[in-house]
Amino acid sequence: MDNKNLTLKWIDTLGNNKIVFERGIIDCTKNRGIYGIFIIDNKQQTEYCAYVGRTVNIYKRFLKGDDAHFVKLRKGLLQNDKVIEALNDKHKRIEVRVIEQIMFNYENYYKDIQFMASRECYYIDHYQALGQCLEQCPDGSNIRRDVWENEKMLSSKA
């Protein structure tokens, strides 16, 4: 059966494997877990993790609904400079990978959800320690950037 997703069709028009999904994401055999958006620079032979996230449906998180990552990218609404830069650079490509599949135990809802959130934070910490994945905050950050900047300024004067 042919996939009729408009964003997937848009990705196909970009050509040259500009955006690549790890095997299993499009057919939903790798559906739930921690995912990463990686920028591959073919000229420099480097790889950069631009974003780490978690979801119960990776396909939907990227391709279905107004809040999906690549729906936003297609519409010019995604707020991640590294991904946007890669989209417009002929030497770079974007790869979406499952970093870790998450299997629920189904003993306790809150435990399963907390485990998935903890694994996401683990990978964000890992990549940020490498100087990557720097354009994101975890869900529920509870402090706006402007408030943080103001507190930073005030603390430096103390």
Structure confidence by residue, pLDDT tens digits, 117-129:
999 999 999 999 9
Asked if residue 87 has pLDDT above 90, the reply is yes
39 neighbors 50 (Cβ within 8 angstroms): yes
Q: Does residue 156 register a pLDDT over 60?
A: yes
Across the chain, mean pLDDT equals 90
3-state secondary structure of 8: helix
Alpha-carbon distance values, 139 to 53, 55, 82, 95 (Å): 9, 12, 20, 22
pLDDT for 39-74, tens place per residue?
999 999 999 999 999 998 999 999 999 999 999 999
Name the band, by pLDDT with cuts 50, 70 and 90, for residue 37.
very high
pTM for this one? 0.87
Q: Is 100 helix (H, G, I), strand (E, B) or coil?
A: strand
Instruction: Tell me which residue has tokens 């499952």.
Output: 98
Q: Helix, strand, coil % (nearest 5) of the chain?
A: 40, 20, 40
